[in-house]
Amino acid sequence: MSRLTWALLVLFPALLSQPKKPFQSQSLSSISFTVKNTEETVEITNVDFEVTNSGVPGRPPKERLVLRKSTHTKYGIDDIGMDASTTVEAWPLGLDLKQKPLYSLTVAGIDPRVVNTDLLVVARGLEETEWWTVYKLGSGQRLFDTYVPLLQFSIARDTVTQRYAGLEVPEDDVADARLKAPNVVALMTYATADKVIRELLVTCDDPKRAQLLRSFADSTRTMTFSPNNLRLSISQNYPSPPATVNLIVPIAKDDLDTAHAQLPAGLHVIAWKR
């Protein structure tokens, strides 16, 4: 064994056990109100700090993270929608915030929130349609998008085995050309805090019906969990009758079981790969 290797072996435990260093940090929030040609505009910058619990997936078991969440919004009074940008920076607790963060992500959105010390969820719907992007809390890596509120549940009764689900409804400007096919309805996602386990593409034989089912103006979608099943319900909006369609996909061996899915006539689910 070389002297360098021996020195590293001696120093490495000492580096890991170094005490956390006290620090102090502050950031300013602001608001401005302007009037130009009768147009009233509000511009707000809010900065929040948060310390997570330990047990963040992908990080040392006892480590906690410090998050600095900065959100800037600008909108006209009585206007629909807004311009918004959110930046989230993360450091291990005990590291001076003047140092480079573990990660930094900036995205058009608001309301960044931590879910179960597993995930970071940012609201992306800045116009009329609500949707969210889900990130890994430990690394800031994107997991998936969802156009229904993030669904969280345990697949075991004797212990907490946390899983997450979402539903992506492709908009007209979706980047993946495959999701622009006229028979596409939605994309179901089943995930852990570390990875996406399965994505299922929901399709419909009738293109006109598929267009109606994925329409944001004409339809409302919900996802729920019951023991060993994910249920997707799509209802037509008023003044049309609800005409709700339900798709039930079993969860078996920690995966979505397409072979035993209960589907309305003309609808299908198939495995999807990015």
Q: How would you write the pLDDT of the chain (274 residues) with one tens digit per residue? A: 544 444 444 444 444 445 677 767 767 889 999 998 888 999 999 999 999 999 999 999 999 999 999 999 998 998 888 899 999 999 999 999 999 999 999 999 999 999 999 999 999 998 889 999 999 999 999 999 999 999 999 998 888 899 999 999 998 889 899 999 999 999 999 999 999 999 999 999 999 999 999 999 999 999 999 989 999 999 999 999 999 999 999 999 999 999 999 999 999 999 999 8
Predicted local confidence at residue 18, as pLDDT: 56
Q: Which residues are CB-contacts of 7 (< 8 A; sequence separation ≥ 6)?
A: none
Predicted local confidence at residue 237, as pLDDT: 96
Predicted local confidence at residue 193, as pLDDT: 96
Domain range list for the chain:
28-109, 141-274
Predicted local confidence at residue 78, as pLDDT: 84
CA 32/CA 185 separation, integer angstroms: 42
Beta-carbon count within 10 A of 41 CB: 14
Query: Do the Cβ atoms of 210 and 203 come closer than 8 Å?
Result: yes
Predicted local confidence at residue 12, as pLDDT: 43
What proportions of the chain, in percent to the nearest 5, are helix, strand and coil?
A: 10, 45, 45
CA 90/CA 70 separation, integer angstroms: 12
